[in-house]
Structure 1
Amino acid sequence: MAAVISVPRRAYPAPSKLFSSSPRRPPRRPASTRGPGLRCSSSWPTGNDIGREERKRSFDLKKCALSVALAFGLVTGVPQLDFPAYASPSGPVLPNLSVLISGPPIKDPGALLRYALPIDNKAIREVQKPLEDITESLKVAGVKALDSVERNVRQASRALKQGRTFIMASLAESKKAHGEELLNKLDIGLEELQLIVEERHRDAVALKQKELLNYVGGVEEDMVDGFPYEIPEEYKDMPLLKGRATVDMKVKVKDNANVQDCVFRIVLDGYNAPVTAGNFIDLVERHFYDGMEIQRADGFVVQTGDPEGPAEGFIDPSTEKVRTIPLELMVAGYKEPVYGQTLEELGLYKAQTKLPFNAFGTMAMARDEFENNSASSQVFWLLKESELTPSNSNILDGRYAVFGYVTENEDYLADLKVGDIIESIQVVSGLDNLVNPSYRIAG
């Protein structure tokens, strides 16, 4: 029996219908730019397929119904937001997190991961922001968009030139050489992007933008000097991811004329969820998920991780009991996660989690509805647009532990169905950040 992703009974008149395990056709999303080497085998377009962009523009009754249901839940089931939040024990909210709290929600998984890093460097953020704004600039039709892109590029170049000394000073000593190398690549890449814009090659902009933002993210990671806090005593001996790791999940899709198989790249964030991400990586290294079916795909989430047999989670061979982990939430402005309680239970009604349910493909732990510390092996990926359930006002933020985002091929998650097979999940990078790995213990 799968663990339940649920909401309080008061939130919806018929929650069982919204979270039904019966399969239904997930809403489509527009195809995103995919990185080289991470492709989904697809037969787009087919005679019956009008394309992802056209579907996005079409009137989707399911999305409309979901939006109405969520709106009803927000009105009737969420505490009033005028309660004062508890003061942070670790000081005020970091200035660079303000972009997550004001303005339209950030939906790009890469941007969410960059802003979630435990750094405070205004200079690199001033390079990052105009590069991210290129996405909005490209929404203008035709080559007219390139005028706005050119302004973005010049702003980023100017910020890099003016702030380079401050950026270099913030690099961890052991990572300075690598950080400087990335800054040099970023400098050259900005010149190349400027040339692309001048030659009016609109189609080449997005790919170069992604490359440059990867450099920015790398520089920001090089500012993190070691792991920033101590894990609580009761959890310090569990498998812990002290940093970040990247995995590739290969799924064999059955009975779908449009998609045959797909590799989803997932970045796991151990800075903000070390216990949750460490538990998952440990299970990946045990090949726990290899050969397992997708067990839920209802248009709201894709879920797996319930093993065969009566147990609803991973049975640790060393104890012959289900291994469970605590609910783990990192609050913006805090220096370490809170454990065992939802933000509502803590009275943090206005608090913002550093890993919000904003992006399509947000990855989190499933758990029993009434037991916060019951998560074990069942994971889910959210299929939604953040406008339907805005960050800090929805039914999931602060209630379930987010620990990563799908960063490649996330739009294909909506094509998965119950019965599709996870052929393998493999760690691509970051395995050295895993401490206390129980998979190495005999038995």
Structure 2
Amino acid sequence: MAAIIPCHYCSSMAISKLPRSHIPSGNINHVNAAWWGRQLSLRCSLKASEAQLRNKLKVKLFSLKECAISIALAAGLLTGMPFVDGSPNAYAANPAMPDLSVLISGPPIKDPGALLRYALPIDNKAIREVQKPLEDITDSLKVTGVKALDSVERNLRQSSQALKQGKSLIISGLAESKKDHGVELLGKLETGMDELEQIVVDRNRDAVAPKQKELLSYVGSVEEDMVDGFPYELPEEYQSMPLLKGRATVDMKVKVKDNPNTDEFMFRIVLDGYNAPVTAGNFLDLVQRHFYDGMEIQRADGFVVQTGDPEGPAEGFIDPSTEKTRTIPLEIMVTGEKSPFYGATLEELGLYKAQTRLPFNAFGTMAMARDEFENNSASSQVFWLLKESELTPSNANILDGRYAVFWLCTENEDYLADLTVGAVIDPFTWFLALDNLVNPSYKIALSPFST
């Protein structure tokens, strides 16, 4: 099975010398015990550093420069990056320091819907100013009781005002072919805001979250109507591969055993071809081929859920037209860039401060598994990340910038943690925007639920 966490994070020579196909998959700690031990040690070191910092601040003898260096060194451990320590393997010249703001900024966005909205390739400040206060309602609702409604009211007022002031700029940002639809959605958004205002007046706390979700769906759809075609050209060597030029929504049903509460789970997932067109296109093409139908969940250890390894000696999809394993390149989209980077991790590119457009923030974020030593070895094996450690924050961990994220689970993602080895994947039964898939390698008749 393709590796997920690179073995160079494990100091156990016995494990690191195993053939990659024999890396244990039953328990992530078998491979990463040393790495997790280092993280726990780091936590103690950080707490000690904090105590030291408080003491030094009291006597006004603390150096801010020393503080920055200490945090940078701690960040280096979190990112797996070496630092200047006098050892032969240290990067003595031009030591790479990660972006400290990654560690000291606010909590990362964990909602998959929000991540997808912010990952759209648009640049319209007016709609983002409408979106953010609505997103912030989630935090407002963390306050217990009806007191939360006071914060919700402020969020709503801010968003409503932003919509009134920026409506013309929002409309001007719509793609010409989608303008009528976008204007219609803005009308629904205004009506929905009035309805949410009445919900707050009625002090109906339980009705806030569903209405918030509805409003944000309108916002997200308006933002999608701002995307005019596919925003960039792919490298020539990938243009003939199956590509998802946009997004597609898929429902995946998984049949489970020995669960007293249910015999199946249904997950709605959004494939993001704007940020990973090759990766998402490859997966959707395999879905069309029924490659995953009847395949079992092959790993479920509390850290990840993984599948996609076909029966037999092959570790990926064998293309019948070539009788060879079809592989795809590592594909990472960085915030601020117009197109993804291919074939190299961000660490290898020296982009230590870069922020991935689709980070491993949300529970159940899905990415391609690959051979740890070969960036362009991904084929069919995929994994869902089930945990977000406080010691590995977004863009400062061992996954972001090293593995290609291409889908987010937007409904029932919490149930991914209930999947066990042996659960069986049913045929993917429902598609939305399948026409965004270009160069499909094998066409099939779509299900009656297709649109």
TM category (shorter chain) comes to 0.7 to 0.9
Provide the residue aligned with 2:382 in structure 1: 379
Instruction: State yes or no: 1:418 paired with 2:390.
Output: no
Provide the residue aligned with 1:307 in structure 2: 310
Higher mean Cα deviation, 151-160 or 69-78?
A: 69-78
Instruction: State yes or no: 1:213 paired with 2:212.
Output: no
Q: TM-score, normalised by structure 2?
A: 0.81
Pairwise mapping of residues 158-307 of structure 1 onto structure 2 (< 5 A)?
158-307=161-310
Q: TM-score, normalised by structure 1?
A: 0.83
Alpha-carbon contact 1:327-1:373 (below 8 Å) kept: yes
Paired AA for residue 68 in structure 1: L
Distance, in Å, in 2 between the alignment partners of 1:387 and 1:193 is 34
Instruction: State yes or no: 1:68 paired with 2:81.
Output: no
Summarize the Cα distance change of 1:66–1:305 in structure 2 as closer, same or farther, 3 Å threshold: farther
Distance, in Å, in 2 between the alignment partners of 1:223 and 1:210 is 20
Alpha-carbon contact 1:357-1:386 (below 8 Å) kept: no
How far is the alpha carbon of 1:73 from its aligned partner? 9.9
Pairwise mapping of residues 8-407 of structure 1 onto structure 2 (< 5 A)?
8-10=7-9, 20-22=24-26, 68=40, 75=77, 77-80=80-83, 83=96, 102-385=105-388, 387-407=390-410
Summarize the Cα distance change of 1:74–1:85 in structure 2 as closer, same or farther, 3 Å threshold: closer
> Higher relative contact order by CA 8 Å / sep ≥ 6: 1 or 2?
1
Distance, in Å, in 2 between the alignment partners of 1:111 and 1:156 is 15
How far is the alpha carbon of 1:69 from its aligned partner? 7.7
Summarize the Cα distance change of 1:134–1:12 in structure 2 as closer, same or farther, 3 Å threshold: farther
Task: Please list every run of 5 or more consecutive structure 2 residues that lacks an aligned counterpart in the other structure.
Answer: 17-22, 29-35, 44-73, 84-93, 446-451
Distance, in Å, in 2 between the alignment partners of 1:79 and 1:65 is 17
Distance, in Å, in 2 between the alignment partners of 1:430 and 1:401 is 21
Alpha-carbon contact 1:85-1:347 (below 8 Å) kept: no
Runs of 4+ in 1 over 3 A off after TM superposition: 10-17, 64-67, 69-74, 79-82, 98-102
Identity fraction in percent: 74
Task: Please list every run of 5 or more consecutive structure 1 residues that lacks an aligned counterpart in the other structure.
Answer: 25-63, 87-97
Provide the residue aligned with 2:4 in structure 1: 5
How far is the alpha carbon of 1:439 from its aligned partner? 1.3
SS in structure 2 at match of 1:345:
coil
How far is the alpha carbon of 1:257 from its aligned partner? 2.0
Paired AA for residue 75 in structure 1: L
SS in structure 1 at match of 2:428:
strand
Summarize the Cα distance change of 1:14–1:393 in structure 2 as closer, same or farther, 3 Å threshold: farther
Summarize the Cα distance change of 1:220–1:79 in structure 2 as closer, same or farther, 3 Å threshold: farther
Paired AA for residue 397 in structure 2: N
Summarize the Cα distance change of 1:190–1:14 in structure 2 as closer, same or farther, 3 Å threshold: farther
Alpha-carbon contact 1:294-1:417 (below 8 Å) kept: yes
Distance, in Å, in 2 between the alignment partners of 1:226 and 1:392 is 29
Alpha-carbon contact 1:100-1:106 (below 8 Å) kept: no
Alpha-carbon contact 2:272-2:280 (below 8 Å) kept: yes
How far is the alpha carbon of 1:14 from its aligned partner? 8.8
Paired AA for residue 179 in structure 2: K
Alpha-carbon contact 1:143-1:202 (below 8 Å) kept: yes
1:382-429 Cα shifts (integer Å, max 9, x gaps): 001253421111000010000010110000000000000111223421
Rg bigger for which structure?
Answer: 2
Distance, in Å, in 2 between the alignment partners of 1:390 and 1:269 is 22
Higher mean Cα deviation, 432-441 or 228-237?
A: 432-441
How many residues are treated as equivalent by the alignment?
A: 391
1:215-236 Cα shifts (integer Å, max 9, x gaps): 1000001001110110100000
Summarize the Cα distance change of 1:317–1:182 in structure 2 as closer, same or farther, 3 Å threshold: same
Higher mean Cα deviation, 272-281 or 69-78?
A: 69-78
